[in-house]
């Protein structure tokens, strides 16, 4: 067992260290706004194009749900990989490797991507619902599906970002890996979101919801299991 | 007392053998200098010693009272400085040190952080973003990063690079101070002034 050196009475735990990584990333993002600008601009442009193309034509709920998650998925793909890619490109990853355990780094980066996804959803989802005139007949259920979906997207994107961060050709590799990994999640999200637009009850959506929670949970668990190898290789 | 044993260390990238069957030891309160021509693997060796690279063969063990440091012990007790490493340019010097102190599990004592910045001559610029620092100032901040938590081992790759004459002198003083404190200091350099800091030498190539 490792004993802490003298004078480290206020040794912070895992959560405190992961919070430090999240705080650093938020501070950096506030000052540079690299990822949030990329994600926000892509989301707004995509949404504008989609709403212009669709116009006032009535759409099937499944099409509306598909469009919503397509916009969210591609917008997140633009920005979420930045969290690890930037560390490698600016050579700050060395100092991070020297001072933080891999799980702390992943925890902080995952939390940062969740925050970024949450901000993206706050910006995008109300605009999407208004511009596309989508009625959400089960709003509480919709919020639950949205939240689990965003966490799942952030979880999948974070570990793929870590895997591709050291590659020479990053963006194509990210696209090639993220799509098959998140495909089952996206299919579940489209199905469950369709139900929330149609006004289905909790019991009708419960199997989809369980699938979503299971997939997001499995994605994050596997990420923590794999990350030591990914980060230190 | 801390003790480094490098035994038959090898490092290969694909088919390219960079380090082969390297063995040496280093002891507390001693400065070991690694020299050799450019591209021979000095920086690679230092990354291996700091745990930043997986070895292809052999072993590099930091032993304290006969017990080998684990990864967590290395993170807290080993200081590292290298031209390949950059600190966060969007953060100030003080914010950088505060961040790394928290990651290392050190108490976030502002007086300690400021004293460290003062020691490397940066206290007056502590609130400036690192992106606004000159290369010499960034090197001084890397020195402060390496010295955080009074490490028992210091692994330094060209510690005097980009420093002016005052900074270079400071770099030498910090090496000697660390040695006096009982730290193992490993310095990779080809600068004759830095080679003279060593109590022993490993020549690669």
- As for how many domains chain B has, the answer is 1
A108 → chain B, closest CA residue:
B103
What does residue B35 show for φ and ψ, rounded to 5 degrees? -125, 170
Residues A168-188 pLDDT 10s: 888 888 888 988 999 999 999
Summarised one tens digit per residue, pLDDT across range B144-202 is 999 999 999 999 999 999 999 999 999 999 999 999 999 999 999 999 999 999 999 99
CB of B112 within 8 Å of a chain A CB? The answer is: no
Q: How far apart are CA B188 and CA B157, in angstroms?
A: 5
pTM as predicted? 0.91
How confident is the prediction for chain B on average, in pLDDT? 96
B84 touching chain A per CB within 8 A: yes
Site from B90, B111, B144 to mutate, A interface, most A CB atoms within 10 angstroms = B90
Are A150 and A113 contacting, i.e. CB atoms less than 8 angstroms apart? no
Spans of all domains in chain A: 16-232
At B37, which CATH number? Answer: 3.40.50.300
pLDDT recorded at residue B97 = 97
**Is B71 at the interface with chain A, CB within 8 A?**
yes
CB nearest B105 (choices: A12, A24, A97): A12
Could you give the residue ranges of the DSSP H alpha helices within chain A? 14-32, 34-54, 61-79, 82-89, 93-99, 102-131, 139-164, 170-198, 202-232
Query: Between B73, B90, B108, which is nearest A32 by CB?
Result: B90
Domain that holds residue B170: 2-203
CB contact (8 A) between residue B84 and residue A2: no
Q: How confident is the model at residue A94 (pLDDT cuts 50, 70, 90)?
A: very high
Whether residue A230 has pLDDT greater than 70: yes
Cβ contacts below 8 Å, chain A against chain B, sum to 82
């Amino acid at each position: 067992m490792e004993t802490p050196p003298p004078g480290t009475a206020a040794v912070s735990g895992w959560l405190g260290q992961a919070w430090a990584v999240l705080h650093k990333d938020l501070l950096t993002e506030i000052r540079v706004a690299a990822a949030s600008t990329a994600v926000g601009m892509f989301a707004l442009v995509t949404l504008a194009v989609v709403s212009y193309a669709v116009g006032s034509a009535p759409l099937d709920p499944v099409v509306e749900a598909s469009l919503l998650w397509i916009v969210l998925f591609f917008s997140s793909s633009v920005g979420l990989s930045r969290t690890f890619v930037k560390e490698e490109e600016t050579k700050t990853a060395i100092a991070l490797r020297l001072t933080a355990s891999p799980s702390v780094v992943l925890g902080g980066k995952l939390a940062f991507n969740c925050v970024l996804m949450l901000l993206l959803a706050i910006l995008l989802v109300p605009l999407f619902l208004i511009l596309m005139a989508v009625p959400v007949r089960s709003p509480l259920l919709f919020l639950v599906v949205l939240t689990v979906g965003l966490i799942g997207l952030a979880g999948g994107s974070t570990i793929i970002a870590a895997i591709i961060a050291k590659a020479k050709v990053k963006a194509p590799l990210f696209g090639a890996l993220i799509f098959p990994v998140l495909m089952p999640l996206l299919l579940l999200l489209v199905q469950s979101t369709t139900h929330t637009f149609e006004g289905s009850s909790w019991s009708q959506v419960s199997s989809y919801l369980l699938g979503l929670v299971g997939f997001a949970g499995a994605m994050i668990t596997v990420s923590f299991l794999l990350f030591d190898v990914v980060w230190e290789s | 007392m801390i003790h480094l044993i490098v035994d038959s260390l090898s490092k290969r990238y694909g088919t390219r053998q960079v380090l082969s069957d390297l063995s040496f030891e280093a002891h507390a309160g001693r400065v070991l200098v690694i020299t050799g021509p450019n591209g021979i693997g000095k920086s690679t060796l230092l990354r291996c010693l700091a745990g930043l690279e997986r070895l292809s063969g052999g072993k590099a063990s930091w032993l304290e009272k006969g017990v080998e440091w684990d990864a967590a012990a290395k993170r807290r007790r080993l200081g590292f400085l290298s031209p390949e490493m950059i600190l966060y340019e969007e953060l100030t010097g003080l914010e950088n040190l505060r961040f790394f102190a928290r990651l290392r599990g050190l108490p976030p004592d502002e007086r300690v952080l400021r004293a460290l910045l003062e020691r490397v001559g940066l206290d007056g610029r502590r609130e400036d973003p690192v992106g606004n620092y000159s290369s010499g100032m960034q090197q001084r901040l890397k020195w402060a990063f390496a010295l955080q938590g009074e490490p028992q081992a210091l692994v330094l790759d060209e510690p005097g690079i980009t420093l002016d004459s005052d900074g270079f002198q400071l770099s030498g003083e910090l090496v000697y101070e660390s040695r006096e404190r009982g730290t193992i200091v490993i310095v990779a350099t080809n600068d004759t002034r830095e080679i003279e800091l060593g109590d022993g030498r490993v020549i690669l190539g």
